[in-house]
Structure 1
Amino acid sequence: MSDTQVQHQSLHELCQTEAFIGRHIGPSVADQAQMLTDIGVQSLQELTEQVVPEGIRLNAPLNVGAPRTEAEATAYLRSLAKQNFVAKNYIGMGYYGTETPAVILRNVLENPGWYTAYTPYQPEIAQGRLEAILNFQQMCIDFTGLDLASASLLDEATAAAEAMALSKRVSKNKKCNLYFIADDVYPQTIDVVKTRAEAFGYEVVIGKAEDALNHDIFGALLQYPNRLGEVLDNRELIAAIKAKKAIVTLATDLMALQLLTSPGELGADVAVGSAQRFGVPMGYGGPHAAFFVTRDAYKRSMPGRIIGVSKDTRGGTALRMAMQTREQHIRREKANSNICTAQVLLANMASFYAVYHGPQGLKTIATRIHRLTQMVATAIEGSSLQLLNKQYFDTLTFKAADNAALVERAQSAGINLRVDSDALGVSLDETTTLADVAELISVLTDESAGDVEALDSQLAEQGYAISKDLLRSDKVLEHPVFNSYHSETEMLRYIKRLENKDLALNHSMISLGSCTMKLNATTQMIPISWPEFAGMHPFAPVEQAAGYQQMIKELSDWLIDITGYDALCMQPNSGAQGEYAGLLAIQKYHESRGDDHRNICLIPSSAHGTNPASAQMANLKVVVVACDKQGNVDMDDLKAKAEELSDNLSCIMITYPSTHGVYEEQVREICDLIHSHGGQVYMDGANMNAQVGLTSPGFIGSDVSHLNLHKTFAIPHGGGGPGMGPIGVKAHLAPFVAGHAVVKTGETSQDNGAVSAAPWGSAGILPISWMYTTLLGSKGLKQSTQVAILNANYLTNNLSQHYPILYRGRNDRIAHECIVDLRPIKEATGISEMDIAKRLMDYGFHSPTMSFPVAGTLMIEPTESESKAEIDRFIEAMVSIKGEIDKVANGEWPLENNPLVNAPHTLADIVDGEFDARPYSREEAAFPVVAVKANKFWPTVNRIDDVYGDRNLFCSCVPMSEY
């Protein structure tokens, strides 16, 4: 635009010129014009018409509204945040105030080097976050006294449900179908476990913990300390339950375990809980990292991811995800779980919290919390209140003559108590001060607290309000990593050292097909740290969260418009959990109509592994539908199977555009066919980035979809989590979405079981998607989709001159991603897709999605936020790699010794005196094209030996000398 044109713009036009659209969309207007010319079209609209089938194109714009500027959006969201009243919360129940060390807040949570990284499937360029997660595993192993920890799960309740599933798999009481839950477990946990049990067809009995012995069960779930705060010595009970061949799970608290005997020492088989209070804000329910720790004997039955230690080709220590063959992407419906999202960013924060404070610092924090609780307990005992606890860590339960009046008096003072049937409770935390305790005592007893400092001195002499038999006697966190970085200088350098080992979006394009690694704008990220959003307890009275509720409603309304559905459930806190929640809604709908027998789920062979794994979790039988040579659903096979299974057909799960990266022409026919046989259509939301503003699942004919807010709507991947997977549904399914046992989330769905611990899932990250949507507005959302399609077709057009493209749609176009077929290259030269993936690291790029959905391929998705320059740089790398492959093909380089099979190259390789024995130069290894010299990323380990890592499974911290 010329200076003259700018001069004559209106104020409105000038404001729109500075709108976020131009910041988010990578290619400039001039670049877009050049790219359109290169692929042979005149405009984005013409490209849209060539790519998207006419019958499913929206004929009206979205109703999201005009785009806001960053300043406008921030100011409005700030006004909503101010409507939240963050009371002094003593509610507890698994959620606590915590102090996030500033060095972790600024350098991890708010640092794109940590939050824009992808799941560490390419471990050579993920050694930093892998070390942080390994520290998390070690921390959980130490505190729980068990053998093997996962890399984190979605929340405490989900972890408990997974423990039930593990119990069923490994219990020797094979014919039993009954699971026991103690009635003093957190209610939200009971809710989620009951929902999972119902789907699996397990029976559940809830009662006093000791009643477990009166039943023939395959497993039992106990809480330690329990919901009322009581710390019980259940050693004998646990031993007796195990004697009946049942598996015992303890839901527990990492902070309490600083003082208490470990679950492993008590005899538990599994320990689960939340690491939230280790420096991760409550965020109105999440995201938080749950932990899952069990005995070594059950390692093959564990859910989720595990980080293990292996070796690289130089013999050095290297970290990787261990036992990946357990994952749902490979085992599909035979996987241990459908979980693919861990909570890596939050697990990293928790592990850094433990590293920063160290064992002594953590024990000091725990002791202080306990002392303050003792002070409140002493005051209660000296008042008219009836204290119910005999021994406790941080939680007290008591009765008043008039509980309701006391709750009202507390709320008037800005204090939230826990309301527990006929009793009240308080849970103290790291943020509680002496002044808070004095105020709390005054409110509870209606008298002055007196000299709290004198009371502190008196209690210090008495010691803990916990019996010696239950006090921890073993040492924890003895590894040097937890004893070396307690000054801020050292901690800062440690975090930076790990960050430097990881390739994230702040370095270069991450072109993973199906994973949509787009810009996570700074303006979108900033509000999650605001105390009005970060400090809200998920069970606080709803009226205290008016700003949160307004934001959630606005975002829900926009998503309903974008998806073409009638209602939205915000509870699922991962895409896979959204699938599970959507399938449960379908099954409850069928049951309401007397169609309990409908239990068949049709799934195309190209589907994500989470689809069949989720179907299995919903107790559905998976029947695979074939795909044709073009990658589309084989309509003849679909019609035959739908006809054959008509009476029992529950649903079909499809992805649109397809996992093969094309807009299938017959998608409406698929929906109509399934509906004609009484089934429902579940449309996987993984590829919504190619739908927004152009078409929608509801308009196409689908009944339910989950939305990966961590893909299409810009919540960052965080190195493997957080995620968010709300589901949109048509009106007839709305009464059957998830409810919640603690907080009312909807009129018609209230009695439905929960799928997540918190009523609105990981609400703390919803401001990101709210900001993303309002900053782009109707115009920007549509344009983003169109540019995503442009970028993909531009990249495909250029790569197709050097590599075969496996699938194309109408007019020889693709949707938002393409699949490069490397099988002919491997057959001709021996160079594999793995070699190309590792070689891309030397060029400074993360590999595209490897061998999914077709083995021997790379699936590439550039996203709309990548510039033409960056896409050209990636194309240059791929073309250069093809030239290297040609040198292997013509014999210039031997197959067993060339830059591809030796990739990635580390600095240790380049300075190795024996490097000259290789048939290529150091410069060819490390700086294969000129662009690399300007921004070199050095992998810190060589190619990792996956087989060694699984055969020699080691999933805890190794000696510092090995690093």
Structure 2
Amino acid sequence: MTAFADRHIGPTPEDQRRMLDAVGYGSVDELMDAAIPEVIRWHGTLDLPPAGTEEQALAELRAIAGRNTVATSMIGLGYHGTHTPPVIRRNVLENPAWYTAYTPYQPEISQGRLEALLNFQTMVADLTGLATANASMLDEGTAAAEAMTLARRAGRSKSNVYLVDADTLPQTLSVIGTRAEPLGIEVRIIDIDNPETALPDAFFGLHLQYPGASGAVRDHAAVIAAAHERGALVTVAADLLALTLLRPPGEAGADIAVGNTQRFGVPMGFGGPHAGYLVVRAGLERMLPGRLVGVSRDADGNPAYRLALQTREQHIRREKATSNICTAQVLLAVIASMYAVYHGPEGLRAIAERTHAKAARLAAGLREGGVALAEQPFFDTVTATVPGRAAGVVAAAAERGVNLRLAGPDTVGVACDETTTDAHLAAVFAAFGVAEPAGDGHDALPPGLARITEFLTHPVFHAHRSETAMLRYLRRLADFDFALDRGMIPLGSCTMKLNATAELEPISWPGFADLHPFAPAGQAAGYRELIGQLEGWLATLTGYDAVSVQPNAGSQGELAGLLAIRAYHRANGAGHRDVCLIPSSAHGTNAASAVMAGMRVVVVACDPEGNVDLADLDRKIEAHRPALAAIMVTYPSTHGVYESGIAALCAKVHDAGGQVYVDGANLNALLGYAKPGRFGADVSHLNLHKTFCIPHGGGGPGVGPVAVRAHLAPYLPGDPLAPRREDGVGSVSAAAHGSAGILPIPWAYLRMMGGEGLTRATAAAVLSANYVAARLRDHYPVLYAGNKGLVAHECILDLRPLTRATGVTVDDVAKRLIDYGFHAPTMSFPVAGTLMVEPTESEDLAELDRFCAAMVAIRAEIDRVGSGEWPKGDNPLANAPHTAQMVTGDEWRHPYPRSVAAYPAGVDRAGKYWPPVRRIDGAYGDRNLVCACPPPEAFEQ
């Protein structure tokens, strides 16, 4: 039976011998010995279980999933049972055309997922009654924290006080607290129901929950108006399903709304991944954090979608960035948006009405049985008071397969959802010791808060009711896009490698998909086993002592690591240490995360070879020695080089009393050969969506675990429902284990690869990058290299001399690659005017050669522009990409033939990918900002 590693690694042993000949080495071992500095080399054997087959790994995962107890969840608190329509589950969640796509930074080949995200933004804006929604957030807690900082930037008040409704979800309150403290924000919890609780004269923002954690539905209009009188901005955390029946926050005067779209068809997954949302009133759209999809036009004037405004602002503004969020939850946002497309406004309202009817029947039966209920309007959650009996009621329900919320020693919360049945209610009645009611309950929504405005009026939410129509819509959008299932995505720093089917299959199993994150600990024994094993394996691989998988993105892992450093210094009486050194080549999120952790950023220069300038490092250390908290470095460097000075760098910072943070974005170039925790680093975040095969999903989900040495372990993120330790850092995500629902993916990858397979994968990735560099070096300068001219897992091709000589830009080359059937490499990062290529270990030699041949052919085309044969403004590069509509038009006035436009050398005519739009005018879209579904008339010719 073929080993899984042989399926995962593209180049065969024979291919690798040919590649080694091109690079100039006799063996992989010889290449790796030359590439990796001996000062960091680790020569041991990875202590992982022996590699298992796909069948063995899946059998073990089935056993682990079987140790979870899938009970009926009626806990609520922002997580609810939901039905994922099978047509969406099979054709989105389980479809590589959707889950292997990259972030839509090349919009011409991302029109399908961009349309789906525009549907998401439209859905959120319509339901909340606000103007502009972004393309999703990491979770509700993160969205609420981002809303807090947005309110601070945009409000008139100069106060540092942020008010939070006492009925806020506890996990949201925890994340807000974590984010507020380093920024000097004072969070005050207020009870808006208490008439004796008056709003203070000065505060910059107010967070409200609608409905509240208790289930209460309150009219917030008066308190919102009072906050506005004091110059504060108001955020409302709202349940989108409830908003089909309730007045939306925008109509009550809210400035911002946040929440979670989990109950729109996304499984609970023990806490994630789910698409949070953030939406703002008119006037605040240019301050939105995260990604925003906008409508622009292409070269023919046709409507086209692209990411708008400040997307990835941290890579532009760095330490001045207002957020470190550089990712989203695209795959989950697509599912939620398609849930709305499939059901439409009538269907969503019907689901909400059924949910509310179950809650009303529950309330009626409990009242008839003498159980005291809070006298308050509610949507789906009933809070019952049973003095001295709450724990017993919860236990009795659990015996009947239903989980309730123990809200206090005398209080039980019960939440209904679209999966709630009469049998579930019968179990709850029995647990309370009351009889079932004779009839249904009464509507418990306050008449004054009933929704009267329409929503989801765009035709897309009315046109796909049948499964046939929905199936074809999903296929149509998928066909617009270029994903890994079509061809190579050679993105440097982003690691677009194989996401094996066997790794992804278990995430749909009920034993992993259907657990509530706050289920009793005994019901999650399988998850805790899996998480414990995974954290242990990651610690082994990296040389650290402890790992937390709570951060649900690399940016959150960065923040968690820096907060751990900050807490460590404070616990040791060095709270004054607040300077974070960051090389000029670093990922932009590094600087943004440091600022969010309450640190001052000091930039360290790089030398002409792209290495950290150790002389400048010495100068910066001396200038800031008493205040030095940390340095953040990426290794291998962002330039794709194994820097030989890394050990000396770590020693210098440690000698000055600082900690060393190694960004784990490029860990796939180290596994089996070096361990950051052993060569001098104190903390790293790991990108499980890069090195460990969680798919990018069109821009999310991701997981960014934080790994630390023993002295930082006490400062790892805490459980959001547990009291925060005085010296702790709180939680960075809304669930204790973050996006636990996709952790079976890296578990399966590690289990099937084993230590030997991981080591082979690292070597194959490094060999592939050096092979590409060797093949292309005579056509494009390779900007940086390390020992003996070798690169690590990626190489940077310098187009700047060609641009100066011919006028052909990096954008022209990127768009022309689409005509050749490739996604472009990373553009202009970390150096403007360059392409950073990362082939990964998963691409076979035929695909590597196809890419190299395309780049060589493009260089020949550039030469024809440079010679004057083709005009600078009218050539295959300047006009790329070419659509089928363009090359089949009745007129053709370009100085090159249609065949060159449509079928450049080496393109398979039968399998040709055709982009749906021509090159998109991004500046036009920013000047004319439209971030919701345009009317169908906009697409008429």
TM-score class normalised by the smaller sequence: over 0.9
Cα drift, residue 709 of structure 1: 0.2
Matched, 1:954 2:930: yes
Q: How does 1:126-137 map onto structure 2 within 5 Å?
A: 126-137=110-121
- State whether residues 302 and 336 of structure 1, in contact with CA within 8 Å, keep that contact through their aligned partners in structure 2: no
Q: Is 1:588 the counterpart of 2:567 in the alignment?
A: yes
- Aligned to 1:715, the other structure's residue is in SS state coil
Could you say which residue in structure 2 is the equivalent of 1:892?
A: 869
Residue of 299, 306, 329 corresponding to 1:320: 306
SS in 2 for 1:897: coil
Name the residue aligned to 1:624: 603
Contact 1:261 1:472 in 2 (8 A): yes
- 1:55 is paired with a residue whose SS is coil
Q: CA deviation at 1:439?
A: 2.3
Q: Counterparts of 2:356 and 2:93 in 1: how far apart (Å)?
A: 28
**Distance of aligned partners of 1:296 and 1:932 in 2 relative to their CA distance in 1, 3 Å threshold:** farther
Say whether residues 1:762 and 2:739 are aligned partners.
Answer: yes
Deviation at 1:287, TM superposition (A): 0.3
Q: Is the 8 A contact 1:312 1:945 kept in 2?
A: yes
Which residue, 193, 203, 207 being the options, matches 2:176?
A: 193
- Aligned position for 1:777: 754
Alignment partner, residue 927 of structure 1: 903
1:225 to 211, 223, 226: 211
Give per-residue Cα distances to partners, 1:16-38, cap 9 Å, x unaligned.
xx220100000111111111122
Q: 2:592 maps to which residue?
A: 613
Task: Indicate conservation of the 8 Å contact 1:326/1:336, yes or no.
Answer: no
- Does residue 538 of structure 2 align to residue 559 of structure 1? yes
Change (3 A) 1:468 1:478: same
Aligned residues between the structures: 934
1:574 alignment counterpart: 553
Q: Secondary structure at the match of 2:791?
A: coil
Look up the match of 2:522: 543
Tell me the distance in 1 between the aligned counterparts of 2:722 and 2:14: 51
Match of 1:378 among 348, 361, 364: 364
Query: Counterparts of 1:152 and 1:436 in 2: how far apart (Å)?
Result: 32
Q: Does 1:163 align with 2:156?
A: no
Q: Secondary structure at the match of 1:938?
A: coil
Give per-residue Cα distances to partners, 1:161-189, cap 9 Å, x unaligned. Answer: 00100010011012x11111111101110
Asked if the contact 1:180/1:212 (under 8 Å) is kept, the reply is no
* 1:59 has 2:36 as partner: no
Give, in whole Å, the separation in 2 of the partners of 1:301 and 1:541. 40
Q: Deviations over 1:609-645 (max 9, x none)?
A: 1000111111111111000000000010001111110
Q: What aligned pairs does 1:297-696 form with structure 2 within 5 A after superposition?
A: 297-324=283-310, 327-401=313-387, 402-422=389-409, 423-444=411-432, 446-449=433-436, 451=438, 455-456=439-440, 459=441, 462=442, 464-696=443-675
SS of the counterpart of 1:698?
coil
Query: Aligned residue for 1:72?
Result: 56
2:885 counterpart residue number: 908
Partner of 1:741, secondary structure, is: coil
Q: What letter matches 2:616 in structure 1?
A: D
Match of 1:847 among 821, 824, 846: 824
Structure 1 residue 209 displacement after superposition: 2.2
- In structure 1, C-alpha distance between the alignment counterparts of 2:850 and 2:436, rounded to whole Å: 68
Q: Which amino acid in structure 2 is aligned with residue 672 of structure 1?
A: A
Aligned-pair CA distance for 1:934: 3.9
Report the secondary structure of 1:950's partner residue: helix
Per the TM alignment, residue 931 of structure 1 is displaced from its structure 2 partner at its CA by: 3.2
The 8 Å contact of residues 739 and 749 in structure 1, kept in 2 or not, is answered as no
Paired residue type of 1:434: D
Matched AA of 1:660:
H
SS at match of 1:660: coil
Q: Distance in 1 between matches of 2:306 and 2:43?
A: 48
- Greater Cα shift, 751-760 or 633-642: 751-760
Mapped to 1, the partners of 2:362 and 2:503 lie a distance apart of: 41
Indicate whether 1:44 and 2:28 are aligned: yes
On the 8 A contact 1:81/1:532 being kept in 2, the answer is yes
Do residues 703 (structure 1) and 682 (structure 2) align?
yes
Q: Contact 1:704–1:729 at 8 Å: present in 2 too?
A: yes
Q: Select 1:269's aligned residue among 252, 255, 258.
A: 255
Q: CA deviation at 1:421?
A: 2.3
Seen in structure 2, the aligned counterparts of structure 1 residues 275 and 750 have a Cα distance that, compared at 3 Å, is: farther
8 Å CA contact 1:716, 1:722 repeated in 2 = yes
Alpha-carbon deviation of 1:961?
3.0
Gaps of 5+ in 1: 1-14
- 1:67 maps to amino acid: A
Take 1:450 and 1:650, find their aligned partners in 2: how far apart are those partners?
A: 63
Q: Is the 1:300–1:326 Cα contact (8 Å) retained in structure 2? A: no
The percent of aligned pairs where both chains have the same amino acid is: 55
Secondary structure in 2 matching 1:173: coil
Contact residue 365 and residue 437 of structure 2 kept, 8 A: no
The secondary structure found in structure 1 opposite 2:173 is: helix
Q: CA deviation at 1:212?
A: 5.7
Q: Which amino acid aligns with 1:945?
A: D
Aligned AA (1:615): A
Q: How far, CA to CA, are the matches of 1:131 and 1:212 in structure 2? A: 45
Select the residue among 180, 183, 188 that pairs with 2:166.
183
Where does residue 912 of structure 2 map in the other structure? Answer: 936
What one-letter code is carried by the residue in structure 2 that aligns with 1:686?
A
Q: 2:243 aligned with 1:257, yes or no?
A: yes
- Whole-Å Cα distance in 2 between the matches of residues 799 and 930 of structure 1? 17
- Residue number in structure 2 paired with 1:878: 855
Q: Is the 8 A contact 1:735 1:749 kept in 2?
A: no
Question: What does residue 245 of structure 1 align with?
Answer: 231
Map of 1:3 onto structure 2: none
Alpha-carbon distance change, 87 to 115 in structure 1, aligned in 2, over 3 angstroms: same
User: Residue 12 of structure 1 corresponds to which residue in structure 2?
Assistant: none
Given residue 260 of structure 2, which amino acid in structure 1 is its aligned partner?
S
CA contact (8 A) 2:720 2:734 kept: no
- Mark the runs of 5 or more structure 2 residues left unpaired by the alignment: none
Structure 1 CA distance, aligned partners of 2:842 and 2:686?
19
SS at match of 2:735: coil
Please name the residue that 1:84 is paired with. 68
Paired residue type of 2:367: E
Paired with 2:598 and 2:124, the residues of 1 have a C-alpha distance of 31
TM (norm. structure 1) is 0.96
Which residue of the partner structure matches residue 111 of structure 1?
95
Q: 1:400 Cα shift?
A: 1.0
- Equivalent-residue separation in structure 2 for 1:385 and 1:56 (angstroms): 66
CA contact (8 A) 1:519 1:714 kept: yes
Q: Structure 2 vs 1, CA of residues 928 and 749 (structure 1 numbering), >3 Å: closer, same or farther?
A: farther
The structure 1 segments of at least 4 consecutive aligned residues displaced by more than 4 Å after TM superposition are 748-751
2:202 corresponds to which residue?
Answer: 216
- Once the two structures are TM-superposed, the CA of residue 663 in structure 1 deviates from its matched residue by 0.3
* Amino acid paired to 2:922: D
Aligned residue for 2:108? 124
State the Cα deviation string for residues 786-840 of structure 1 (Å, max 9, x = none). 0000000011100102110000100110000000000000000000000000000
Whether the 8 Å CA contact 2:567–2:729 is kept in 1: the answer is no
**Does the residue aligned with 2:234 lie in a helix, a strand or coil?**
strand
Q: Pick closer, same or farther for the CA change 1:326–1:654 going to 2, 3 Å.
A: closer
Q: Distance in 2 between matches of 1:505 and 1:845?
A: 10
Q: Partners in 2 of 1:325 and 1:550 — Cα distance?
A: 38
